[in-house]
Amino acid sequence: MKLISTTGQEWQRLCSRQLARKRRVEEAVRKIVDDVHQNGDAALLRHTRRFDQARLSVKQLRVTEAEISGAFQHLDPKFALHLKSAIQNVSLFYSRPRLKPVRIMDGDGVVLAEKFDPIERVGVYIPGGTASLVSTVYMTVIPAKRAGVARVILATPPRKDGSVDPHILAVASLLDVDEVYKMGGAQAIAALAFGTKTIPKVDKVIGPGNAFVAEAKRQVFGFVDVDTIAGPSEIAVIANHYSNPAYVLADLLGETEHAGGLGFLITTSKALARLARKQVPGGYCVLVKNLDEAVDVANQLAPEHLEIMVRSPQKLAKRITRAGAIFLGPYSPVTIGDYVAGPSHVLPTGGAARAFSGLGIDDFIRRTHLITYSKRALERMREPVERLTAIEGLPRHFDAVKVRLT
């Protein structure tokens, strides 16, 4: 772990880490996305052979009911039991509606309102490869289902033999995912965004992935909505001499299990800093004068996960305005949030927590404004509209009002 100052260029680079893009990845992904957009299933199958070494036919892209039933036969019978508490916690957290309709009326017959409707079709991407993220299935599907999404479509990379991790299929089945397709990487994101003869076009794509998946989501944004553009997983820990060093080191080391995982230690303790520098490979340590400065540093970083392991962590948490999720106290490791706590572990990375939030029900809801005017109310607004349309040089906009009042 490297000791770093908050006054140097390297610190500025770390605080703007989300902005880093590799041209090689960008160009490679653009070719894949354009190919799938133009050539559909044929391109999707070609890239599946190239990147996943799986030779599939068009009919084999969609996971069958028989494959889903067979998946349960390959699992430990206790798997569903172990999964139960996690699913219950996530379901409970997302059980209450967050959005309340707005309705404003005045005496002249003006009614202003908002209505909320769930997105119709959502594509969920679940990485495979070196790690099949089983937990991401319920961390994404449950909020979507709770929001009322009519059709949840899951995409996950096939193995070389054309099969899919049975744990992923089992969880998808338990959560009533509507369709599962064997496809991964940038080609899967493109197929979901544009649709093919076999793959339905969705309205929003969510879920984590590698640099190619993240870049593909960036490139299809606008054709579909996406959640945040995810980068490597990261953790920041605020700690001092009251913190248990073993807990701090274990949590920082946990991030190294993720490819490119990044750890930050923000501490007032020189002894803890020395220990971390010796035992944690990679990552950065920031020595601060006091906890007030620690809060400022954390807000500059805007980390995906922030652990506060000091006395009275709630006091500091109130002043943290930029973090994907905050874990308070010595017995709240990031691991608990990754798997069983309840809030989705799909969180903004790379400093995106400055403006983005963790995945929630609101991410699957569209809001529509409803505007009703009476003739009397329209007459009252005649002069302001006439003046404003004249300033903007759009007289026919005013004609649409004038014709109703003549």
Domains of the chain with CATH codes: 23-226 (3.40.50.1980), 232-342 (3.40.50.1980), 373-405 (no CATH)
- 226 within 8 A of 282, measured Cβ to Cβ: no
Q: Are 208 and 232 in contact (CB under 8 A)?
A: no
Question: Would residue 114 show up in a list of annotated catalytic residues for this protein?
Answer: no
Active-site annotation holds for 257: no
Residue whose structure tokens are 């036919």: 57
Count of alpha carbons within 13 angstroms of residue 240, beta-carbon side: 17
Of the candidates 122, 132, 225, the residue with the CA atom closest to the CA atom of residue 179 = 122
pLDDT over 70 percentage in the chain: 98
Q: What is the pLDDT of residue 215?
A: 95
Catalytic residue among 234, 305, 307, 345: 305
Cα 185 to chain centroid distance, Å, stands at 16
List 234, 255, 304, 307, catalytic entry: 304
With contact defined as beta carbons under 8 Å apart, do 147 and 365 qualify?
yes
Could you say which residues of the chain have pLDDT below 50? none
pLDDT value of position 132: 76
As given in the structure block, the two tokens for residue 202 are 């969705």
The strand pairing partners of 3, in sequence order, are 285
| pLDDT score, position 129 | 65
Check residue 236 and give its pLDDT.
97
